[in-house]
Each structure stands twice: as C-alpha cells, then as structure tokens.
Structure 1
Amino acid sequence: KNLTEERDELKKEINNLEQPGWTLFGGSAYFVSPTKRTWEESRSYCQSKGADLMVINSIEEQNFANNFRKYMWIGLSDLETEGKWKWVDGTPLTTRFTHRCLIKNFNSEGSWNDAECGNENYWICEKNLNSIKCPSPIWRHR
C-alpha cells in the first residue's frame, strides 16, 4: 500500500470510532450498549462496528468495565462445546465457570455470572486500536 492508502484507512478507522458512546482505555475503544439484546445479537452489533464483545485480559480492564455499573454481556461463552469456555478471539478461559454465556457483573473482582445466551442484557464491545496500522513516518534529513 502506498502512504495515501494507509492514511485513508487510518482515517476511516478513526471516523468509525467517532460515534457517541465509545470510550478509550488501554489501547482499545469500548462501547457500552444503552439497550438490551441477546448474546448473539450483541456480538453481531459489535462486529458490525469492526469490534467484538469485550475480552478481559487484566484486572485493570476488569476494573474499567466495573465503572459502567451494568450487567453486560462479555465475549466469553461455551457455545461451541458445553463446558469449554472460549473468548471470542479464540483463546481459552483459564478460570472455571459453569455453562452458557457470561455477564460481567460490576459488583466485585470475580464477578462473572453465566446466563442463558437468549436472555437480553446490556453488552460491551471492544475494538483493539493496536491493530490499526499507522502510516510510516517520513523522516527528512537536513
């Protein structure tokens, strides 16, 4: 790609995030829904925005999600294989839970609850901004 194409791609990605409701934190942009949907509908919405349901990778990210003070769908389920939890990015879960899809509860640190995926809840999308390719800088020598 040439520099102009890279610049235009970056502008497009940034413009997609300039929508009400997106919050920046730790290299990602997050969107917390104002309405309720099923897990699958929530995931489809996130994907339509170039994101996916939130993958919680750290205690800091979990604490960030707690600040929204909502029960929210996150990107964790055992839909493929009952009892085998996977994040939407394909990584396995290292903590044990029961079955179904997971809701992030804002009350405490280990506050994830399983629920029927067909239930309607708020959700949180995450778009990793580290995947956006920035144009290479042009250095001028004097």
Structure 2
Amino acid sequence: MASLMKTEVWREQNILTPAQVCGDVINVIDDVSPIECAEYCLGQVVMCFMFEFNHITKVCRLFSGIANPNGTHLLPWIPFVAYKGLSNCERAGYTYVTGDEGLCFKVFETELPWFDARIKCEEEKGRLLVLKTSRHVDTIMSYSGYLPSSFWIGLSDPNKDGNWKWIDGTNFNSSVWHNIMINGHSINYPGENDTADCIRISWSRHKLHDTNCKGDDRFVCERPQLL
C-alpha cells in the first residue's frame, strides 16, 4: 500500500485466519476515509498496532497488540486486509529491524522467571521473541550488540512431553538453529529432574538451550510487524 500520510508508510497484508488478528479492537469509527483511519491509528501512538479499513462499508477498526489464539472466534471467519505502520515500533519504544517481514523487539534488563517474562510481554501488547525461520535467526544475530548475554525467548515445552512449541502454538523447527543443547536438565535445580521446560538463548555462546522455567533471566519481547 502506498503511503497514506507523509509521516508514515503502511504495510498491507491479508489476514486470512483468526490467529493473525493483532490484539483487541480498541476503537471502531464509521464513515471515514482510509487516510482518516490511518490518522486515528497514528493518534493512538503506542496503543494502535494496526488498523483495518473496509472499503465497502467505510468502517475503520483499530487493533492493539497481539492476540493469543484461543479458538473462541465466531465462524465463519471472513478474511480482511490490515495495515501496519512501520514507525509504530519506534513510537512504542522498540527497535525496528528491517527485512522482508520486519522485526520489532525490546530488551528488558529486569531478570524474571519465564512465565513472568511472558506476562510482561503480553502487558506490553506483544509476546516473547519468536524466531521460527533462519531469516529471523540471522536477522536477530546481526543485532547481537543490542542483546544481553542470555535471555528468555518464546519457546517452551508446555505439556512436558518433549514437544517444544513457540508461544504462538507452532512447533519448533530445530533445522534453523546451528547450536542447540536440549537435554531436560537444569544445573541450578539438581533436585528437580527433567524440569527444563523453557528455552533461553546464551548469546555469548550463540547457543539455544533448555532450563528450568523458575530461573530468573532477562528477556526480549517483540511486536511482529504483521503476523
């Protein structure tokens, strides 16, 4: 989509499934133009993650953050086109990484257990960092100077059955990682065997490894430019 305003460039994407909806609807405006809809989104500063404009009904809907798929959406699902402003990332205090898909991340220096880090990211209208493709891994690797020596990411074994999943529910693909150590053991919790159910990245060793979710570490949240 071409620039709707001189202060913003909007990326366009077809939202085909409920899992792609970016958060809660924070406002619905009737009988407006696409430019007015974009202006309403920009006026929200941090809260408006993307907007949907219906060219037939001229209804504008503003979305905040990222929705966690929960299967409660009404059927049938009707696909729509959404627009995400690229500068929203910086306006929310995050770092924008250029690329085909874009990556918008923020480092939190406060050390928290994995589940608390997850909640903090969701409070930020985002999620713990998800790196599902080799392109995403290579992109974030190029920004290693911004990242702590180790940090939580959005990967865990939620059912404690060895089936690792990203926080959006997709399965872990180990082929995109070069250095992985997943063995179910946490050296800091010797009395709790097979309780290493959360993943952190040790950046100093470029290694992805499992550890006990109760341990404290720094973490990285992201706000995907478009899911």
- For normalisation by structure 1, the TM-score amounts to 0.76
Q: Comparing both chains, which one has the higher relative contact order based on Cα–Cα distances under 8 Å and sequence gaps of 6 or more?
A: 1
The C-alpha deviation readout for 1:17-50, integer Å capped at 9, x for no partner, is 5244x21113121011121011111111111111
The answer on whether the counterparts of 2:149 and 2:204 sit within 8 Å (CA) in structure 1 is no
Specify which structure has the higher proportion of strand.
2
Aligned to 2:156: 77
Which of these residues, 28, 36, 39, is aligned with residue 114 of structure 2? Answer: 39
Aligned to 1:66: 144
Matches within 5 A, 1:116-131: 116-131=212-227
The verdict on how the C-alpha distance between 1:35 and 1:92 changes in structure 2, with shifts beyond 3 A counting, is: same
Aligned Cα root-mean-square deviation (Å): 2.4
The C-alpha deviation readout for 1:98-117, integer Å capped at 9, x for no partner, is 341001111244x0111111
Which of these residues, 114, 118, 123, is aligned with residue 210 of structure 2? Answer: 114
Residue 104 (1) aligns with residue 205 (2): no
Structure 1: how far apart are the matches of 2:115 and 2:105? 18
Which structure has the larger Rg? 2
Specify which structure has the higher proportion of helix.
1
- For normalisation by structure 2, the TM-score amounts to 0.50
Corresponding letter in the other structure for 1:66: S
Corresponding letter in the other structure for 1:120: D
Structure 2: how far apart are the matches of 1:77 and 1:112? 12
Residue 23 (1) aligns with residue 120 (2): no
Structure 2: how far apart are the matches of 1:18 and 1:78? 33
Structure 1 runs not aligned, ≥5 long: 132-142
Structure 1: how far apart are the matches of 2:90 and 2:160? 33
Number of positions where the alignment pairs a residue of Structure 1 with one of Structure 2 = 129
Report percent identity of matched pairs. Answer: 23
The answer on whether the counterparts of 1:29 and 1:127 sit within 8 Å (CA) in structure 2 is yes
Corresponding letter in the other structure for 2:226: N
Matches within 5 A, 1:45-64: 45-56=120-131, 57-58=133-134, 59-64=137-142
Aligned to 1:136: none
SS at match of 2:223: strand
SS at match of 2:203: coil
Structure 2 runs not aligned, ≥5 long: 1-28, 49-86, 175-179, 185-196
Structure 2: how far apart are the matches of 1:126 and 1:40? 16
Aligned to 1:89: 168
Segment drifting more, 50-59 vs 33-42: 50-59
The answer on whether the counterparts of 1:66 and 1:107 sit within 8 Å (CA) in structure 2 is no
